[in-house]
Amino acid sequence: MHLMYFTEQPMSAYDAQAGLDFGATALMFSNRHFDPVAGSRLYNEYLEHYRLAEEVGFDGIMLNEHHNAPFCMQAKCNVFASILAAMTRRVKLVLLGNPLPLADNPVRLAEELAMIDMVSRGRLVSGFVRGGGQEQLAAGVNPAYNRERFEEAHALIVKAWTQTGPFRWEGTHYQHRVVNPWAVPLQTPHPRVWIPGVLSKETIVWAAKQRYPYIALSTEIEATKKIWELYDKVALETGYAGGPEYRGYLQRCHVAETEEKAMANAKQFMWMQGEFTGLAHPVWSSPSGYFSPSYRTAFVEYAVGRRSNPRGAAFEDQITNQQIVAGTPKTVIPKLRRLLEETRPSIMGFWASDGFVSNEDTKTCIRLLGQEVLPALRDIGKELGLWSPFEANAPTSIHFAEPARLKDAARQA
């Protein structure tokens, strides 16, 4: 299995009441509430957590980015990936990921990612996302063109990585008279690409057709099974067998030395979902053209009080259905076994804390995960035949055998 550590990097150091009074903490919630002193402290604490995650045995560090919202301070995941490329030695740097529709210049993004791959000596996994609805508004991108821009930017980046330049690109959304990046990835033909998502059928189908692993973000177990049914169906139609190497799952999981401490800290996962300070106004999160009409209707009805928040159930319900797992190592391992047995992902991310969980409690959680939970999961993974994509050598449209230049870089490390 491939086991990753993840944090949303929340900016929890602001007046919670101000967020409640405004009713939303994304897009239009003024940045006068941001405290750079607290932000500096938090950024450095997150770096400390990443270092500890590598030390205690995680295989990868999962990074993402969001904009104009305190639930995620990471405005550019490539910045943290660049730092970690130099300060870590073993873990994969898994970007889930760069929001392609927000990119004005995909060629420059291809160059940035190539630099990270070279500095890390081939440890980059480059994931791509569509970006949140409100982020289209913040970046001045028409939400109706989100998927078009995503697919075209992806095609341009892969071509820039794999085809010798110079060449010309004349697309619908991007035009480049000269594409000839001097920096290209260390991995050949390019770094692995993984795609995260929730329940968008269009994205699941697209990832399966590309033969990219799909990472389900804290979906319910039954809903996750349906994701894999659709993915495997499309995979067979495309000409290959899906299976565990193409399946990933991000689990919100807080571990502590006592059940009471773990449950108290796990309630902070609701911070991002808007239970404490609000998140984003539903209409901003789902601008016209971004989601399917039925999904947007659900958000608008929530905005006017006609239905519950479609983003998530109450905390107690998420504990029951295991979207959130909390407890001591002894009590969480059986719950995680159930997830592995029923959904069979070979890629697992652990979102360990959120909101106002203290620095010390977060480090304790990381240590307990690394020292007690991950070894048990590796044994379960072997029992179930859940080999990571790096171990399984699953057939793909792209050959990821270790090139000579990657071996040379490893010898020089």
Residue pLDDT tens, the chain, 413 long:
999 999 999 888 888 888 888 888 888 989 999 999 999 999 999 999 999 999 999 999 999 999 988 889 999 999 999 999 999 999 999 999 999 999 999 999 999 999 999 999 999 999 999 998 889 999 999 999 999 999 999 999 999 999 999 999 999 999 999 999 999 999 999 999 999 998 789 999 999 999 999 999 999 999 999 999 999 999 999 999 999 999 999 999 999 999 999 999 999 998 877 665 556 677 777 787 887 776 667 666 655 666 555 555 789 999 999 999 999 999 999 999 999 999 999 999 999 999 899 999 999 999 999 999 999 999 999 999 999 999 875 434 443 333 444 455 545 55
Q: What is the pTM of this model?
A: 0.91
Of 84, 67, 74, 78, which is closest to residue 31 (Cα–Cα)? 67
Q: Give the integer Cα–Cα distance in Å for 287 and 124.
A: 32
Q: Is 60 helix (H, G, I), strand (E, B) or coil?
A: strand
Q: Can you tell me whether residue 197 is helix, strand or coil?
A: strand
Contacts of 11 (CB under 8 A, 6+ apart): 34, 38, 39, 42, 70, 71, 72, 73
Q: Which helix (H) or strand (E) holds 281?
A: none
* Domain 10-412 CATH (choose: 3.30.390.10, 3.40.50.12280, 3.40.50.2000, 3.20.20.30): 3.20.20.30
Question: How far does Cα 216 stand from its chain's mean position?
Answer: 9
Helix axes 329-343, 221-238, angle to 10 degrees: 40
Burial string for 206-236 (b: 16+ CB within 10 Å, else e) reads: bbbebbbbbbbbbbbeeebeebbebbbebbe
The residue written with tokens 């006609």 in the block is 306
Counting Cβ atoms within 10 Å, is residue 372 exposed (0-12), middle (13-18) or buried (19+)? middle
